[in-house]
Amino acid sequence: MLREQRNGMCASLARFAAVTALLSVLFPAAMMPAAAAPMAATAAPAPTVPVQAGTVVAEPVRLHVVPGYGGDYKPYHLIPIRVKVSNNGAPLKGLLRLAMKDTQPQVGYHVLPVSLDAGETKTYTLFGSEQISMPNIVVRLESDEGLLIAEEKVGGRGLNTGDKLIGVLSEQATTADFLGSLRRENAQSLHRVQHLSEADIPETAQSLKMLDVLVINGFPAEKLSAVQTEAITGWVENGGILILGGGAGYRRSAAPWLDLSPVSVHGETRWNGLRKLAEKAGVENVPSGPLTVAMGKLAGGRIIVEEKGIPIIALRPVGDGKVLFCAYDLAEGPVAHWPGNSPLWSRLLLPLIDGERAEGLNGGPRGIDFWQSLAMAAERIPAFKTPPIGVLAALLGAYILIAGPILYHVMGRWGQREWNWLAIPVAAVLFGGGLFLFGAKDRMGGTLVQNLSVVELHDRWADITTGAALFVPEGGTYRLQAKGGEIPRPLEMPDFSHPDHQQVHLSGDGDSMSLEFRDVEFWSLRKALFQQTAERGRIASRLVYEDGKMAGTVINQTPYAIRDARLLYGAEVIPLGDLPPGEAVPVDVLIGNEPVRQVTTFMGPASLIPLEKLLPGDPDPALAATRTNRASRERDILGSFFQGGPVLPSGEVEFFGWTDDPVVDYEIPGHPLRAVHLGLVHSTLDLAPGPDGSMLYAAGAFTAKTVNGVTEADRGANGFLVADSPIILDYMITEPESSSFFKQNGHFTPTRIRVDFWTHEPSFVFKKEIYDWHRNGFAEWDKVASNDCLDREALPYFLSPEGRLRFRFSHEDPALLQKFIGLPHLFVEGRMAP
């Protein structure tokens, strides 16, 4: 038996040797020993074997990764990740990927091709979400074949939602560091200061949105490209705050933004001390020592601090943002380390960057809820609308008649009733097939796309957000290629460890970004979000307040045909009709008489303007039920715009209109598109005083500041809870910098104030009191006001010399339960004097 086993083994070895010899003849390169492998490689390249993540095959290549600005980044933003690639080895080509450590090669979210010569260093920008704060998120450099060349952890520091990020462009390393010590009383938010270089400034305003404030002081602006300076301008118009430092280097550092500056500078001088600056800061320590001050005259906006007839600090609204002029160099000796910096800039900057609206009383900044609700609303594609119930009932009735009495009668006439066993199933198949084809006709013939957009217009630049829903008729890969500078992103930022999310890829940079969905299922839906800041014209206006009326014209200077336009001021909605591009519409309407009413919504009672008034059609809310279905998409967009909350008065003249024109520009190569577009166009307009200086500031123009009795838990978006302790609120009426709605430089003198009070429970009676500054005590509101109004004779008693109006609210519920009291709305008439 052993002999048989030996014979079998010999036979096997003989066969193996024969096969090996044959293979060595047919494929000599494959059978060479290891020492000869390099020679064989010239004839046929060896197959690439991907290495495991974390294995570095090229030490000379180094990555330096900085997310956000200086490593700081904020949630709910598309976060730029700057990657510096240093190649000290041979020339290389490959791909940068934002990915999860230890995942398979060629898997990642943002993918960017790279190419470097020997000894070359380049900086690339990837984009990610707040998920980059996870410890296992890395930037990976791979070869085209999937070999890992280098890898670096993203790292950085994620800020909280309420934290503020302040960027500084300066040649001095410590310029404006004092801005990091600003604190609002009882606030938990931080103010982070990051010193930037010209390389940190992106080329799109959209990528700057993480910054709340940008300080430019003693920095040579010529280091910035024209595209970068335009991006900063667009960022300001869309809500950014730009601080221009003065001194000897003002003209050089502020050159690209001289037209935006509130002060026109014509020279400079040397001073020894700025006493008015110390007075504004509320400190006795005056900055002393020689100081270079830029001299000029007010060009727009208003002066906040003035000394010897020269504006020292001035503020100018620009679109939704602001430009703050500072006549001195923030880094110059006498003021660089002045103890009054923190109190001064807390008074100047906190009301602007924190914004009372984001403080909790009037809502907060938009974020992921806005994006998700907009993209989800895009799912309501008109082509998928269910046929009317009457049509479905008629079709079902026809089928019953055909499959029942008609076939029975016909087959009876033919004497073939036994054929009904076949005829009825055939009729059912034909009927079902017909219904299928009827329903499928709108799903065939190309990729069906609906784009729902919100276009927020400013002076020149627009902030555009689009939620897109794509219904794909067949499976495969779909790549959304942006053509107009938009930045596409999936509705949900990918979970890198989730297999489905590994099929979503962002690629490209600059003006050519694309979002790719791989392995899409047949007849499925994909959703994407597009964000862009671009020039789209503006809604121009010439509106004045005179004799109790708003009068003037509104002009459409955008490329969009706008329909069903409205103006909203306070609680009044003014219909304008349709506005083709370039057209103007007259306005002449009484304002200030409509109270802010309590309206019950699905979220409960609230003080708001009925949403139906802003929907297309007749603005009368009583007709809302007749157009609920027709306006469902418009209703969804408005709900996204107001973040699902109440429509609160803003204090400004707001423009709302609708357009069916394309707002976003993208294509899907290889797939024809059938696109449906709907966009909300929104803008804020100026209302100027009349020739005699008369002016009306409507509800929302003045923000309440709590004096006592309110904790953070008691505050809501539009009111507060009162328990056994009274609540005291202050409104600053005549101090311009207390409100961002004062766009005129002058002194406002109120002549009449109307106050709208409200609560969730109409039967709940609460006590309202107003402070009498002459008698130094509170007086009952109902005894001093006439029809909830304070007239010219009463105002000297209840308006303090500095313009403060103080209310106290309480209730006498025996159970001492917390009761909700709505935030009062003020309508203030008066005169603006130079």
- DSSP labels, 561-611: -EEEEEEEETTEEEEEEEE-TT-EEEEEEE-S-S---EEEETTEEEE---G
Three-state DSSP class for residue 31: helix
Give the pLDDT confidence score for residue 393 in this predicted structure: 79
The pLDDT tens digits of the residues spanning 180-228 come to 887 665 455 678 999 999 989 988 888 888 899 999 999 999 999 999 9
User: Minimum mean pLDDT among 240-249, 284-293, 394-403: which range?
Assistant: 394-403
Q: By C-alpha distance, which of 506, 504, 469, 500 is closest to 487? A: 506
Give the pLDDT confidence score for residue 358 in this predicted structure: 34
Please list, in sequence order, all residues whose beta carbon lies within 8 angstroms of the beta carbon of residue 618, skipping any fewer than 6 positions away.
none
Global pTM reads 0.79
Higher-scoring residue by pLDDT: 365, 659? 659
Sign (positive or negative) of CA dihedral 74, 78, 81, 82: negative
User: Minimum mean pLDDT among 246-255, 426-435, 464-473, 590-599: which range?
Assistant: 590-599
Q: Is the pLDDT of residue 422 over 90?
A: no
Per-range mean pLDDT, top range of 65-74, 294-303, 551-560: 551-560
Give the pLDDT confidence score for residue 22 in this predicted structure: 31
- Looking at residues 784-799, what average pLDDT do you find? 93
- Looking at residues 388-399, what average pLDDT do you find? 76
Q: By C-alpha distance, which of 249, 296, 286, 293 is closest to 270? A: 293
Give the pLDDT confidence score for residue 103 in this predicted structure: 64
Q: Is the distance from CB of 354 to CB of 189 less than 8 angstroms?
A: yes
Q: By C-alpha distance, which of 485, 503, 513, 481 is closest to 668? A: 481
Name the DSSP class of 387: P
Q: By C-alpha distance, which of 542, 553, 545 is closest to 569? A: 545
Q: By C-alpha distance, which of 610, 600, 648 is closest to 824? A: 648
Q: Is the pLDDT of residue 6 over 80?
A: no
Q: Using pLDDT thresholds of 50, 70 and 90, give the confidence band for residue 168.
A: very high
Q: Is the distance from CB of 294 to CB of 265 less than 8 angstroms?
A: yes
Higher-scoring residue by pLDDT: 109, 267? 267
The pLDDT tens digits of the residues spanning 545-585 come to 998 999 999 999 999 999 999 999 988 899 999 999 999 99
Give the pLDDT confidence score for residue 320 in this predicted structure: 82
Residue with tokens 């400013």: 458
Give the pLDDT confidence score for residue 516 in this predicted structure: 85
Name the DSSP class of 692: T
Give the pLDDT confidence score for residue 741 in this predicted structure: 42
CA-based radius of gyration for the chain: 34
Please list, in sequence order, all residues whose beta carbon lies within 8 angstroms of the beta carbon of residue 383, skipping any fewer than 6 positions away.
442, 443, 448, 676
- The backbone region for 816, taken as left when phi is positive above 0, alpha when psi lies in -120 to 50, beta otherwise, is left
Q: Using pLDDT thresholds of 50, 70 and 90, give the confidence band for residue 475.
A: confident
Give the pLDDT confidence score for residue 794 in this predicted structure: 93
Sign (positive or negative) of CA dihedral 588, 592, 598, 602: positive
Please list, in sequence order, all residues whose beta carbon lies within 8 angstroms of the beta carbon of residue 52, skipping any fewer than 6 positions away.
102, 148
Per-range mean pLDDT, top range of 174-178, 549-553, 812-816: 549-553
Q: Are strands 687-689 and 461-472 parallel, antiparallel or unpaired?
A: unpaired
Average pLDDT, the chain: 79
Higher-scoring residue by pLDDT: 245, 498? 245
Q: Using pLDDT thresholds of 50, 70 and 90, give the confidence band for residue 4.
A: very low
Which residue pairs from 312-317 have beta carbons closer than 8 angstroms and sit at least 24 positions apart in sequence?
312/274, 312/276, 312/277, 313/277, 313/280, 313/348, 314/262, 314/263, 315/262, 315/737, 316/260, 316/261, 316/262, 317/740, 317/743
Q: By C-alpha distance, which of 777, 779, 776, 769 is closest to 727? A: 769
Per-range mean pLDDT, top range of 31-40, 53-62, 356-365: 53-62
- Rounded to 5°, the CA angle 476-477-482 comes to 145
Q: Is the distance from CB of 740 to CB of 815 less than 8 angstroms?
A: no
Q: Using pLDDT thresholds of 50, 70 and 90, give the confidence band for residue 50.
A: very low
Q: How far apart are CA 148 and CA 153, in angstroms?
A: 14
Q: How far apart are CA 505 and CA 372, in angstroms?
A: 19
Per-range mean pLDDT, top range of 80-89, 392-401, 471-480, 736-745: 80-89
Q: Above pLDDT 90, what percent of the chain?
A: 32
Q: Are strands 476-482 and 666-667 parallel, antiparallel or unpaired?
A: antiparallel
Q: Is the pLDDT of residue 284 over 90?
A: no
